[in-house]
C-alpha cells in the first residue's frame, strides 16, 4: 500500500469541520477553507510540498512519519489479517498531518469518494503513541473496505483491545505490558473519557476476555467461544452470517 503523508497545518480544522458539518466530502470542506490547497489535493499523490506554505519542521516530521507508518503497517498487516480476516487492502492512503502541540491526539479515518484519508497530529516526542493511533485509524478503513459493519461504540471498544493501547501495539513494541494493563484498568474504573460513555463501557467491560486473545484464530470465532454476553454474541453472529 502506498502511504503519502501530507503536512497540512489546517488539517485539525478539517477534522473539526468534518464532524461539525457532518459533510461526507472532505475535499469540499478543504475547498471552503483553502481553495488553493484544495486544487493541489486533487492531484494529492503528486503533490509538490515546495509549493505549500508549511513550516519546515512539519515537512520534516511528515517525511519521518511516512516511513514509520509504512514500516509499522507492514508489520501489523499479518496481525490484522489473522485477527479480523482482512482481505481487501487499499492501493493508497493519504494522511493529512497537523502539528500536535498538546496532549490531545485526535485521529479521523474516512473513505472519501473511494480514497482512504486519515487525519492525525504529529510531533517528535510522541512517536510510538502516534503510530499506534495511526494503526487504530487504519483498522477503521480496513473494516469499511472489508464490509465489517459493527455498531460504532462496539467497534471502538473492540479496537481498543488491539490498538492504540492493546494487543497489537503490545506485539509491535509500541507499548509494554504495564501500559496494556493500566489502560484496561483505567477504562474499567471509568477514568478514561471514552469509558464514561455508557454504551462504550458496556461493550468494553463485557469484551474483557479479549485481554487473553492469542491470535490462534480470528477474533470473531474467539469471541463466540470465550465471551458470555449474549448481546455481543448476537452482533458477532450477525457479522459472521453476513460475511458468508
Q: What is the pLDDT of residues 130-149, one digit of tens each?
A: 999 999 999 999 999 999 99
Q: How confident is the model at residue 227 (pLDDT cuts 50, 70, 90)?
A: very high
User: CA Rg, the chain, in Å?
Assistant: 18
How far is residue 60's CA from residue 77's CA, in Å, rounded to a whole number? 26
List Cα–Cα distances, 187 to 152, 161, 182, 191, in angstroms.
17, 11, 9, 6
CB contact set of 120 (below 8 Å; sequence gap of 6+): 95, 96, 97, 98, 105, 106, 107, 108, 130, 133, 134, 137
How many CB atoms lie under 10 A from the CB of residue 205?
14
Average pLDDT over residues 196-209: 96
Cα 116–Cα 118–Cα 121 angle in degrees, nearest 5? 170
pTM of the model: 0.84
Provide the CA 118 distance to its chain's centre, in angstroms. Answer: 8
pLDDT in tens, 161-179: 999 999 999 999 999 999 9
Amino acid at each position: 500500500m502506498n502511504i503519502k503523508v501530507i503536512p497540512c497545518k489546517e488539517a485539525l480544522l478539517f477534522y473539526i469541520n468534518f464532524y461539525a458539518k457532518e459533510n461526507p466530502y472532505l475535499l469540499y470542506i478543504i475547498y471552503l477553507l483553502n481553495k488553493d490547497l484544495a486544487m493541489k489535493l486533487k492531484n494529492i499523490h503528486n503533490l509538490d510540498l515546495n509549493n505549500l506554505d508549511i513550516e519546515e519542521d512539519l515537512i520534516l516530521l511528515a517525511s519521518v512519519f511516512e516511513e514509520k507508518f509504512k514500516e509499522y503497517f507492514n508489520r501489523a498487516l499479518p496481525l490484522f489479517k489473522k485477527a479480523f480476516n482482512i482481505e481487501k487492502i487499499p492501493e493508497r492512503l493519504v494522511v493529512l498531518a497537523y502539528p500536535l502541540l498538546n496532549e490531545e491526539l485526535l485521529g479521523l479515518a474516512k473513505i472519501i469518494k473511494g480514497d482512504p484519508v486519515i487525519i492525525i497530529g504529529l510531533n517528535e516526542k510522541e512517536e510510538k503513541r502516534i503510530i499506534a493511533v495511526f494503526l487504530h485509524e487504519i483498522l477503521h478503513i480496513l473494516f469499511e473496505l472489508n464490509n465489517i459493519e459493527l455498531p460504532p461504540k462496539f467497534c471502538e471498544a473492540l479496537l481498543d483491545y488491539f490498538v492504540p493501547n492493546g494487543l497489537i501495539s503490545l506485539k509491535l513494541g509500541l507499548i509494554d505490558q504495564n501500559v496494556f494493563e493500566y489502560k484496561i484498568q483505567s477504562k474499567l474504573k471509568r477514568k478514561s473519557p471514552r469509558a464514561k460513555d455508557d454504551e462504550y463501557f458496556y461493550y468494553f467491560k463485557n469484551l474483557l476476555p479479549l485481554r487473553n486473545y492469542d491470535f490462534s484464530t480470528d477474533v470473531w470465532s474467539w469471541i463466540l467461544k470465550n465471551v458470555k454476553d449474549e448481546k455481543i454474541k448476537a452482533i458477532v453472529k450477525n457479522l459472521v452470517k453476513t460475511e458468508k
